[in-house]
Chain A
Amino acid sequence: MNARTLPLLATVLIFIIAYALCYLQFPAILSTRVVGNLLTDNAFLGIVAVGMTFVIISGGIDLSVGSVIAFSGVFIAVMLRDTGLGPWPVFALLLVITTLFGAAMGATIHFLQMPPFIVTLAGMFLARGMAYVLSIDSVPINDETISVLQRLYWLMPGKGRLTLIGGLMLVVVVVGIIVAQRTRFGTNVYALGGGAQTARLMGVPVARTTMQVYAVSGFLAGLSGIVFAIYTSAGYSLATVGVELDAIAAVVIGGTLLTGGSGFVAGTLIGVLIMGLIQTYIIFDGTLSSWWTKIAIGMLLLGFIVLQKALVWAGGRRTEAAAGKG
């Protein structure tokens, strides 16, 4: 165990303990139905949180993703309603748009030397505004293919449903883990998060990596938008307000350092599941105000930030001690 994996272990431990506590009170929570629900209901959040993990590991932040999801939903609904295009070309077109949108934000951040916070904040307003321009109302999606996609599921033993979108999230997480740990791009992202200056000296193509990171986030936000459109079979410009913050919370609870350079995609999945579990518990209980979800997540976040600080501090002391000995 080292300072890098400790937050991840803490997350996994918290998840297992929390699940056990919920199980003691509501045995029904340990069913494939609830597991299936956790995956399906949090699919859009999980997918976008994987993109956010890359962004945060690289030392940045992407506030635009919630708006991009809403834009994607409205875009899909309006395109299917007003043009003769089928769902697949629309999906492809959308992913191109959101990926380019992300890459453009990455380019702005790098070449204009602007803080990611401001650039992606502008992106957030832009995407939300575009969604409103397309339609103010909730646009229903009455497409055969999409309703088939919505109904696709694998019936797990115990009547739980692993839906297509839940499965897709798991695939995205697995691919995310592989990209982060086993590719050149992944290594570059970690290096960039450790400090742009050092990364440049190490020969990391900083400009390209920055653009790629935000392009990945944009792509996954678009994919998440497709999942959300399938999930609700509607596009609504007011949807998913604040999802970017939920995604950031999931990433941090998942053990990724907000300052960048350290973190795991797998942890993010656990972070998403912890947040989903809290919500499920509150609904199972049925008497607590649902705002307790936010309070619990807030407290968890605070706990993790303190834990991270403590680890950095302890790590610093250890190096000092080692230096002293040498």
Chain B
Amino acid sequence: MISKIVFGASLLASVSLLSSAAMAQTVGFSQIGSESGWRAAETTLTKQEAEKRGIDLKFADAQQKQENQIKALRSFIAQGVDAILIAPVVETGWDAVLEEAKDAEIPVILLDRTVDSSKDLYLTAVGSDLEHEGKVAGDWLVKDVGDKQCNVVELQGTTGSSPAIKRKAGFEAAIAGHDNIKITRSQTGDFTRAKGKEVMESFLKAENGGKDICALYAHNDDMAVGAIQAIKEAGLKPGTDIKVVSIDAVPDIFQALAAGEANATVELTPNMAGPAFDALKAYMDDKKEPPKFIQTESKLYTQADDPKAVYEEKKGLGY
């Protein structure tokens, strides 16, 4: 009798083991490198998300080289991982290795960048919508200023880069139809702190010492941080005299938010792996095909969102 119960229990246990085996156990992750703080945070979060789900994550840093990424993918396939995540360093040249993964029936998910291969070679791509980010920033400003007249100066990203083009277009779309808000000056700050400060200084000089500027829109936080410095040096109060809204949500901007020197930031979440693992689970467990593009949330943070706490939370991610 007892042996029967034990047998039944062990059978039950093995059944439940089997069902959990449907979820990916081992996932390979080929990361571009650690060229920016954001990418380091993405790596940290991917590891955390995998651990949370009990997934054994095989991590390979490609040191910015495509050949290393191809090698990593081939090794993952040879090892027989259950799924592969990749943040591809360039768009071209992935067909052969993706086909190999497909032949081995290993689903591949692209993180935050895309490839020019045929869409049936990968399961899905997880990324942010750059234009949407710009729109979220613009919507915030529209709501914040209400009917008041507002002249905006814009610090663009690197000329011609897709974040610069799309974040500009999104912001413009948001303020279109609100005639009280006008972009009076727009120049590139190259996504850097130093350049952001320098260009803001020239904006301030050109706009009556800054008295004619109501808000600053920067395509990334780094330029905003530089511009805040310039505003302070010009004797104005950033966040009050000139509103500051930017994109990315890196830790430093939360310090500025906490100090009242910045007003809002839109998060480019480094947590691309969370949605990727969720899609993978749905695919493995229920055979549910995800859409080919999964858009991550572009969350808006303002001074009301306890920036101190967010700063503490983000600080440890490796930004």
The residues of A with any CB-CB pair to B shorter than 8 Å are 26, 28-29, 31, 33-34, 37, 40-41, 44, 138-141, 147, 150-151, 159, 161, 228, 231-234, 236, 239-240, 276, 279-280, 282-287, 289-291
What number of residue pairs across chains A and B have CB atoms under 8 A from each other? 95
Residues of B contacting A287 in the complex (Cβ-Cβ under 8 angstroms):
58-59
Contact B77 A151 (CB under 8 A): no
Q: Could you say which residues of chain A place their CB within 8 Å of the CB of B57? A: 286
B315 lies within 8 A of chain A by Cβ: no
State which of B63, B68, B80, B92 has its C-beta within 8 Å of the C-beta of A140. Answer: B92
**In the assembled complex, which residues on chain B have CB atoms less than 8 Å from the CB atom of A240?**
67
Q: A33 vs B79: C-alpha distance in the bound complex, in angstroms?
A: 9
| A29 / chain B contacts, CB cutoff of 8 Å | 78
B67 contact set on A, CB distance < 8 A: 41, 44, 228, 231-232, 239-240
One of B58, B74, B80 near A41 (C-beta < 8 A): B74
Residue B312 lies at the interface, judged by CB distance under 8 Å to chain A: no
The docked-state distance in angstroms from the alpha carbon of A138 to that of B88 is: 13
**Does B139 interact with chain A (Cβ within 8 Å)?**
no
B65-93 interface (Cβ within 8 A of A) = 65-68, 70-72, 74-80, 90-93
Whether B70 pairs with A232 at a CB distance below 8 angstroms is: yes
Q: Which residues does chain A contribute within 8 Å of B91, judged by CB atoms?
A: 138, 140
B61/A37 in contact, CB under 8 A: no
Residue B96 is within 8 A (CB to CB) of chain A in the complex: yes
Q: Is B100 an interface residue (CB 8 A)?
A: yes
Provide the residues of chain A in CB contact with B71, threshold 8 Å.
37, 41, 276, 279-280, 283
What are 9 A-B contacts with C-beta separation under 8 Å? Answer: A33-B77, A41-B74, A151-B96, A232-B70, A234-B66, A239-B65, A283-B72, A283-B76, A286-B58
**Other-chain contact of B78, A33, A239, A276 (Cβ < 8 Å):** A33
* Count of chain B residues near A, Cβ 8 A: 33
Which A residue's beta carbon lies closest to that of B76?
A: A283
Closest to A233 in B: B93
Indicate if B317 sits at the interface (CB-CB under 8 A): no
Q: Are A40 and B74 in contact (CB-based, < 8 A)? A: yes
Given known A28-B80, A232-B93, A283-B76, contact A290–B63 (CB-CB < 8 A): yes
The answer to whether B79 and A284 touch across the interface, beta carbons within 8 angstroms, is yes
A138 touches B61 (CB 8 A): no
CB distance from B173 to the nearest CB of A (A): 28
Known: A161-B100, A290-B63. A150 touches B74 (CB 8 A): no
Q: In the bound complex, what is the Cα–Cα distance between A28 and B116 (angstroms)?
A: 31
Chain A, Cβ-Cβ closest to B31: A290
Instruction: Check A233/B95 contact, CB under 8 A, given A37-B78, A287-B59, A289-B61.
Output: yes
Q: Is there an interface contact between A280 and B68, defined as CB atoms closer than 8 Å? A: no
Q: In this assembly, does B60 line the interface, its C-beta being within 8 Å of a C-beta of chain A?
A: yes
What is the minimal beta-carbon distance from A51 to any residue of chain B, in angstroms? 18
Chain B residues 210 to 236 lying within 8 A of chain A, measured CB to CB, are: none
- Taking a contact as CB atoms under 8 Å apart, the answer to whether A286 and B95 are in contact is no
- Shortest Cβ-Cβ A-B pairs, 6 listed: A286-B58, A232-B93, A234-B92, A140-B92, A33-B78, A283-B75
Q: Mark B133-148, 1 if CB is under 8 A from A, else 0.
A: 0000000000000000
| Complex alpha-carbon distance, A40 and B74, angstroms | 10
Q: Given the complex of chains A and B, what is the CA–CA distance between A228 and B71 in angstroms?
A: 13
Q: How far is the CB of A189 from chain B (nearest CB, A)?
A: 29
Whole-angstrom distance from the CB of A250 to the nearest CB of chain B? 15
Q: With the chains together, A286 CA to B67 CA distance in Å?
A: 17
Query: Is the CB–CB distance between B93 and A234 below 8 Å?
Result: yes
| Contact partners of A28 in chain B: CB under 8 A | 78-80
Determine whether B189 belongs to the interface, using a CB cutoff of 8 Å to chain A: no
Are A280 and B63 touching (Cβ within 8 A)? no
Residue of A nearest to B103 (CB): A159
Q: Are B61 and A286 in contact (CB under 8 A)?
A: no
| Centre residue among B75, B99, B116 by max chain A CB count within 10 A | B75
Is B28 interfacial (CB 8 A cutoff)?
Answer: yes
Q: When chains A and B are docked, how far (Å) is the Cα of A159 from the Cα of B105?
A: 13
Confirm or deny: B62 has a beta carbon within 8 angstroms of a beta carbon on chain A.
yes
CB distance B61 to A290 under 8 Å?
A: yes
**Contact yes or no, A286 B93, CB < 8 A:** no
Q: Are A37 and B75 in contact (CB under 8 A)?
A: yes
Q: A231-B67, A232-B66, A234-B90 are in contact. List 14 more A-B contacts (CB 8 A).
A: A26-B79, A34-B78, A37-B71, A41-B70, A41-B71, A138-B90, A147-B95, A150-B95, A232-B67, A232-B70, A233-B92, A236-B90, A284-B58, A287-B59
